[in-house]
Structure 1
Amino acid sequence: MDKHTHPHEFRRAARSGLHDRPTAGYCEGYVQANLMILPHEHAADFERFCTLNPRACPLLAVGKVGSWDLPTLGQDIDVRTDLPRYTVYRNGKPSHSLTDLNKVWKDDFVVFALGCSFSFEHLLLKNGLPVRHIELGGSAPVFVSNIDNHRSGPFGGKLAVSMRPFSVAQTIKAIEITSRYPQVHGAPVHFGNPWEIGITDVAQPDFYGLSAVRAGEIPVFWACGLTPQVAVMAAALPFAIGHAAGHMLITDISIETLLS
């Protein structure tokens, strides 16, 4: 599989256990989605959390209680199997990683799909901008900032941000491109000195990813769909499931349909 693979084919490969790696650079032109799966009792508070924090949590779809399909996002989607990897949280801590959710699925789960910045990376590349983690063959590094999220019920915590390094001129171009796609995080939330948002070392991300800030470059930070997982950890929920960092649901939606 490569950047030209159709999302349906990619999801089938993930479902069959043939792909369990990060999704950056795959299925060029299609929207990738972060995932959060919660018991129904927390769904209303979480949906409001997304509404209050749209830069980090742009809602693409909300599933019906107990349902594992998301028909508005693609044909034959099964969120229990169609992501390469998932993270299970217990009592606010990452418990373990899974490549499918069949054994842990419950009838009261509600699925939330949120836009992901991987969706616009091919547009950066098309415009001559480097995407360092794709160049290095991995996923974007993600950091927990010192920026507070707006709280809803038990959900609060800090904003998570993904980082891509650019020159100053490239940063301006990246802002122009990404600001047109708010449903996949839109424009950066910060660029330049990472200390200003509480990040002390861009070589030590809080969620694993690959990057290298080279001479003449500055770190540029986008709101990240791992923010809900930071919120789940801060809330110490008994049980929740999210996509593993960098391992997204690839939808059938063209990025151009989200153009603002």
Structure 2
Amino acid sequence: MLGSSIIRAQQIAEYLGAKYNPRSGWENDVCIWVKPDLEAESAYVKTAGSKTYLDMIDYSRYVHWLRDHPDERGIVSSQFAYDILKEEMPGRIVLIPQQHCNFENFVRRRKKIANVGVIGSPRSFKYPLAEIGKRLEQIGLRLITNFNFQTRQDVTDFYKKIDIQIIWYTRRMFLKTPLKIINAASFGIPSVAAPHDGYKEVDDYYLKARTIDQLISEVKRLKNPQNYKAATKNLLGMAAKYHIKKIAKLYKQLV
């Protein structure tokens, strides 16, 4: 199962006690379709109407589909995408951010800064990771990656092991979301990342690096306890807004 399906469908349905992929009995309900098939005979296309929402996540094909179907409504998960699409499709776009993975509110307590983490898919980090690993070793840090997670527990276990997160996604993509930054922040872990428009709502909550040299430099600075403390002092408060108990309330407002 794709990560987006777990986060936006399975986790939310379980938390709200909603139906998850029901075979019947949903025709008159408010329905949220997460990355559905858009073929003419697909269940979503055949039943789309006033009580359905298309959750686009990061798939631009759905934006084009909504443009061609002015009676349909969509859900986006980043402020940047919402600000663009609400002007283009007034009254049809809803912003529901992704909830972070840390339902239990576990907080990093280690004093030693030793592990730098990359999570997602190998393609999402747009620089050779072998070289990143070598450069981190040169400053006394170890690179930990997770490209194989299957469950929320896999993701939380990863964050419990790391002290700094690095993100290097440099492609322009207006549906890009800041979930990785929020996930790390929920554990009190700072992120160093290439700036991205999709991170608009967390702009003050990550360290920006415009080059790989700068990324390594910012990571090195975080080895200093005072710098680390300064970079993390407001993270938990920000991430609290994205706990599933807060995000679930936004789904209940859909009509």
Structure number with greater CO (CA < 8 Å, separation at least 6) is 1
TM-score class, shorter: under 0.3
Q: Of the two, which has the highest radius of gyration?
A: 2
TM-score w.r.t. the length of structure 1 is 0.26
